[in-house]
Amino acid sequence: MAVRQSAHPQALSESVQAPLTLEGYSVLHQMMRFRWAAWRALPASQKPEVVQEASSLLTNMEQNAAGQSALYSLLGHKGDLMLVHFRRSFDELNQVELQLSGLRLSDFLRPVTSYLSVIELGLYESSIKLYRDLAGRGVEPHSDEWKLAVADTLTRQREAMNSRLYPELPKNRYLCFYPMDRRRGEDKNWYTLPIEERGRQMSEHGLVGRRYAGEVKQIISGSIGFDDWEWGVDLFADDPLVFKQLIYEMRFDQVSAVYAQFGQFYVGLRVPSSELGTLLSGQLPPGN
């Protein structure tokens, strides 16, 4: 039994700052350049075999019931292709990399960058409610009783949000991906704000996104300890202008205006595996 002591909820909040999170699919983004000169030099008689081999593997990955993959044709100078993979574990992501490396097509691909993360749902509201309840009952932070209550909350939330933790990879025509951080400078530091204030700002931030619910699908993945930024953001839509509208409007929220830092943006058009040959012939496949 944990030792009980009187504790004011605010005092407890100051000692327990990290919100609870739920994690789902492991995610890998691969940005590639295509060696067009080498591809043009390949005898025309060999190209169908290379395309068929790659298309067959990509089709299996697109249809994988335990986490899908998708191919995108990137716009701009940052790369030619982007592959996005949702899988159940990092081990499975590594297997995906190895399978792709075994393709003859990989001889014509040069990695530009990549991004590793896991789909993440932050539970600010539930965390604050739970922490206050435990403090009101005098439960010592991080005691066995505390950990049991946290585990129970996570189990219930995980069951309720399973479809958001393990979603199908959206089939929208356009994808916008970018990494981001919360500011940790001397003047402004997100991580020194009380959890209640961070929760308030995130709730306000989420209101904007919900107004675009019918136009864009947003998937947030956490990358602290996995990659160079703290989160990755994927936006899926059939009209790319919605990316500009949504992100611009969100810039006026306090959490973005004061505490957000952004990495490079990547925008691509989805290419079904069946249209790989069309893409490699120098034509953009038609939209779905």
3-class SS string, 172-241: CCEEEEEEEEECECCCCEHHHCCHHHHHHHHHHHHHHHHHCCCCEEEEEEECCCCCCCCEEEEEEECCCH
Instruction: Report the pLDDT value the prediction gives residue 187, as an integer from 0 to 100.
Output: 81
- Residue 11 CB: number of other CB atoms within 10 A? 11
User: How distant is the alpha carbon of residue 263 from its chain centre?
Assistant: 14
Compute CA distances 60 → 55, 73, 95, 99, 108, whole Å: 9, 19, 14, 11, 21
Instruction: Report the pLDDT value the prediction gives residue 1, as an integer from 0 to 100.
Output: 35
Kind plus residue range of the DSSP H or E element containing 36: helix 36-41
Q: Which two tokens stand for residue 242?
A: 């919605």
Instruction: Report the pLDDT value the prediction gives residue 184, as an integer from 0 to 100.
Output: 79
**Are 134 and 12 within 8 A, CB to CB?**
yes
Give CA–CA dist 101/107, Å, rounded. 8
Phi and psi at residue 25, to the nearest 5°: -55, 140
| Nearest Cα residue to 93 out of 64, 52, 120, 51 | 64
Q: Which two tokens stand for residue 222?
A: 């956490």
| Nearest Cα residue to 103 out of 276, 278, 285 | 276
Which is catalytic among the residues 72, 131, 174, 178? 178
Give CA–CA dist 236/216, Å, rounded. 6
Q: Angle, nearest 10°, between helix axes 195-211 and 124-136?
A: 150
DSSP class of 76:
S
Instruction: Report the pLDDT value the prediction gives residue 217, as an integer from 0 to 100.
Output: 96
Instruction: Report the pLDDT value the prediction gives residue 14, as an integer from 0 to 100.
Output: 60
**Are 32 and 81 within 8 A, CB to CB?**
yes
Is residue 266 annotated as part of the catalytic site, yes or no? no
Place of tokens 């499975």: 92
Q: Which residues pair with 28 in a beta bridge?
A: 85, 116
**Could you write out the DSSP letters of every residue in 145-165?**
HHHHHHHHHHHHHHHHTHHHH
Give CA–CA dist 33/171, Å, rounded. 23
Per-block mean pLDDT, blocks of 10 residues, the chain (288 long): 40 70 98 98 97 98 96 97 98 98 98 98 93 91 94 96 97 97 82 85 81 91 97 97 92 84 96 96 82
